[in-house]
Structure 1
Amino acid sequence: MTGARRRLRTVPLALLILYTVFIGLVTLTPNQLDTGPGSFIAGLLELLASHRVTAWIDYDLLEKLANIGMFVPFGLLVALQCGRSRWWVGWVAGIAFTCLIEGTQATLLSPTRFATISDLVTNGLGAGIGAVAGLIVMTIWPPERHDVAVDHEVR
């Protein structure tokens, strides 16, 4: 494996590890993100409600979009790590990871967190979108070249 190709595989792995830790911190801490009055989320919802075009966006929709968006990079990075022939592992890993998260929320964090089927679906959808995006990137990206020295001529 060439130096450039090795870096292309190492960077997604490092980002994947960091991003997985980030998701864990967001989803597996006892308290949810601040959603009370004066919070960022409340301010964003207020801003969206103040415009006619975005007034229909409520907390439930924003949460679903955020769940999808949070798992798109995860699916993308896993797909890039696994390669073009196993891009689908990004989707499967995302579904497995969200099952782990929701199971932990339902059992260990049940007093403060809520496991929902909706989260399983939206997180899995996000991972799937990311995995497909990874496949597209790997298809467009120049393929890996194996330059093999020829030691004889064929006549």
Structure 2
Amino acid sequence: MVTIGGTAVMVLGALAAGVVAVLLGLAVRRRLGTASAVAVPGLLWSLVAIALVTLVPTRSDVGIVPADARSESCSWDYGGPSGAAFEVLGLDQRTLNVLLFVPAGMFLVLAVGRWWSGVVLAPLGLAALAAYSLAIELTQLQLARLDRACDVTDMVDNVVGAGIGFVIGLVLLPVVRPWRGRRAAH
């Protein structure tokens, strides 16, 4: 049986997605301007990276998780024991979940900030990031092969991370001024 998983697969996938994002940014830079040519591919890259980190099994030796061994529901134990069980670079799972969504929130604001409709699109995008987190947790619940757990704490941490990124994007918006590229494109 061929198994795929582990941090090496996640990192290689994120790097490959990063290369594609850079190429996309270079392709649209003249049309959108530099700020948007970084923000739009950056948002797409962050969504792919989130999917890789959350949906690729953490170990390549997981094998098949029997259907009767998988969880039947999401954990509603907020801040439960899983947060301390996983660490990377000295950061616990809760901190990593927050950090994982920060770039998506930031790039979202910068990507839609070039248009006046961004005033509506940015909050809708933040809601979409929350829905993305929910979809990931539900996928983890349904696909026992992933050997992942659906957890309300993860959803809250993900939304907090997206919110922090959103605020960072708002702070950067007047500095980056993505609307400048619009005039150069016409």
Q: Distance in 2 between matches of 1:130 and 1:74?
A: 7
- Superposed CA RMSD: 3.0
Contact 1:72 1:127 in 2 (8 A): yes
96-105 or 110-119: bigger deviation? 110-119
Contact 1:79 1:134 in 2 (8 A): yes
| Shift of residue 15, structure 1, vs aligned partner | 1.8
1:44 to 70, 83, 90: 90
- Equivalences for 1:46-61 in 2 at 5 Å? none
Contact 2:102 2:165 in 1 (8 A): yes
1:25 to 52, 56, 76: 52
- Residue 64 of structure 1 corresponds to 94
Which amino acid is 2:169 matched to? Answer: G
After superposition, what is the alpha-carbon deviation per residue over 1:63-92, rounded to whole angstroms, capped at 9, x for unaligned? 111111110011111111111524324422
Q: Distance in 1 between matches of 2:170 and 2:55?
A: 29
User: CA distance change for structure 1 residues 90 and 139 in 2, over 3 Å: closer, same or farther?
Assistant: farther
TM-score (norm 1): 0.66
- Residue 55 of structure 1 corresponds to none
2:133 to 63, 80, 98: 98
Q: Distance in 1 between matches of 2:95 and 2:87?
A: 13
- Residue 82 of structure 1 corresponds to 112
The unaligned stretches of length 5 or more in structure 2 are 1-28, 61-85
Q: What percentage of aligned pairs have identical amino acids?
A: 32
Larger radius of gyration: 1
User: CA distance change for structure 1 residues 114 and 136 in 2, over 3 Å: closer, same or farther?
Assistant: same
